[in-house]
């Protein structure tokens, strides 16, 4: 299964990685699951959005360079 411009699997791995990083950083400050779960979810969402923005940027740059 692929999206219009890339694999869903890659987006999933990026979101999971950002979520795990957010949880790890959050765990330095607290051990409460009531804090760590939302932090992980927000980190996953941020990772997903960053991947989409980065993919769009790379596609635009490649298209611009092809036109030269």
pLDDT of 2 over the 50 cut:
no
Q: Is the dihedral of CA 8, 50, 25, 34 positive or negative?
A: negative
The tens digit of pLDDT for each residue in 11-58 reads: 889 999 999 999 999 999 999 999 999 999 999 999 999 999 999 999
What's the CA gap between 31 and 23, in Å, rounded?
A: 10
- How many domains does the chain contain in total? 1
Q: Tell me the angle at which helices 33-67 and 8-29 cross, rounded to the nearest 10 degrees.
A: 140
Domain range enclosing 41: 2-67
């Amino acid at each position: 299964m692929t999206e219009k411009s890339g694999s869903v699997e890659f987006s999933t791995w990026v979101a999971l990685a950002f979520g795990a990083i957010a949880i790890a950083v959050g765990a330095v400050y607290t051990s409460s699951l009531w804090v760590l779960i939302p932090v992980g979810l927000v980190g996953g969402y941020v990772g997903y959005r960053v991947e989409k923005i980065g993919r769009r940027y790379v596609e635009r740059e490649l298209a611009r360079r092809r036109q030269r």
